[in-house]
Structure 1
């Protein structure tokens, strides 16, 4: 007699069974206990004889003794598997056309990307204008230094010579336009405060494409904006890198 499925308790036939964790499952029933994502023999993680995906695998605190070479090898292998899965999905969806009417998640991600690029362009122009304002302030400050008209000492009752009168008249004509053109220096503008959300990384992640960012467990990611259910856009505060990141590798602060 065929045994029942460990999840739905229905009969499992040989053509659709998955034998794992000392139990039998339907292929469609072999899912993560938290997010219900369908798993296979390559990407599942077992805990207490229950299947989990990589993102929702129960965390355990490891001591220095528990970090054996075997555990480090398994951690590296799971990280490589997640990158391979992302590459496969990317190659599968690359080159697909979009309808001008359909509002797909991919189209929403492209729109968000364009908004972020325009925001970055605005900040670059703001930094340039701030540098120009600082240079103008410095020039005005140098022009603000008082100038003193030094005249040779004359005896009482002695009239100034023709050469002294010409020198004094030319010096005053040279100094008068500076006092008329002087304007008080403008106060430097402070940069606008950050309004994005802040997230903290709960796993290490290595960028698999040019528009992604790498980070370590515990890194703080600022100015985060949601692109779709699986991806976000933000900046790693430790490195200053800006790009896309997977949503299931971070948690809100």
Structure 2
């Protein structure tokens, strides 16, 4: 079956065949429908399968019709779905960036892309200058317009956030000054009233999931940090400044040692003082005479007393060994055949004079090291932390990392970890 030209309805041979707009044309018959300008595949525009030039291309007109309930519902659903999808993707991509170093090839490619983009833009702009084409909005264009609107809102809010807290100072009018003063007075009255009503009352609220999660994370981070520092410092010896508790224990130990020492010294002095008198009494000689032929015992006159050296005669009440007595007519008689031991002379050892120890120098007060002042109240969240109040002094501070330090609260004497952003250094 031979091919017919759509313009002249004659047979079209392969050498002069031109297929366009689902029809076959002679190359010479492919002309504009209005001005009969010869067209080609590069400069024609088709409308209802009829070729036109750029100048005589028919303009599309639109008729405004009322939206049906179905169209309104579809438009609303599309808008909601677009917003949901946009915000979902925006939240997923928020805060996620990948930074890579620009290689020479990438820099060259960016520069070439920029140059090509400028060249292409200017060429298209020059070609399409003073030419306009009205086309219906496709779904892609509608999506692009909606995205542009959303981006515009984002840019607006971003600029608004940047300019927030920036003010332009103008002179207050009398009305504004009066309003500010009234507002200040009302605020003070309401504050004092609320403060008086809520004084001494506590409010308990249940822990939310976020609060429980934050407390658990804080506890885990504290334990991890503590164990990490513990593993690093394992096997290492550190010389630290004695805290007030250690100084107090040392002072009490020294005082107790001095008391025990002086107690023993006084006891030794007392023993040394009493020893010569006791030994002098032991040196007295007792002369006792017995008449072995008669039944009685004749005591020699003017015989001094002595103590019998039997352990069974120890008198704990008087701290004496034996009973002191004179053998007289009515006293008990000594056993038969008893002979007094010969007197022994005792030479007391020379008494040594006690030299007290030289006085010890007074201990210097402990150094407080780095001292910080508390800016806020803080309650410990773990066993290795300390609590303090505002304006408390923290002594012997030792930084651990950029967020924590270790120190001793001077008011309570407790030592532990504390956040470094709650205090400021004093010295």
TM-score by length of 1: 0.47
Answer 1 or 2: which has greater strand percent.
Answer: 1
Answer 1 or 2: which has greater helix percent.
Answer: 2
TM-score by length of 2: 0.31
Kindly name which structure, 1 or 2, has the bigger radius of gyration based on alpha carbons.
Answer: 2
Q: Which has the higher contact order (CA 8 A, sep 6+)?
A: 1
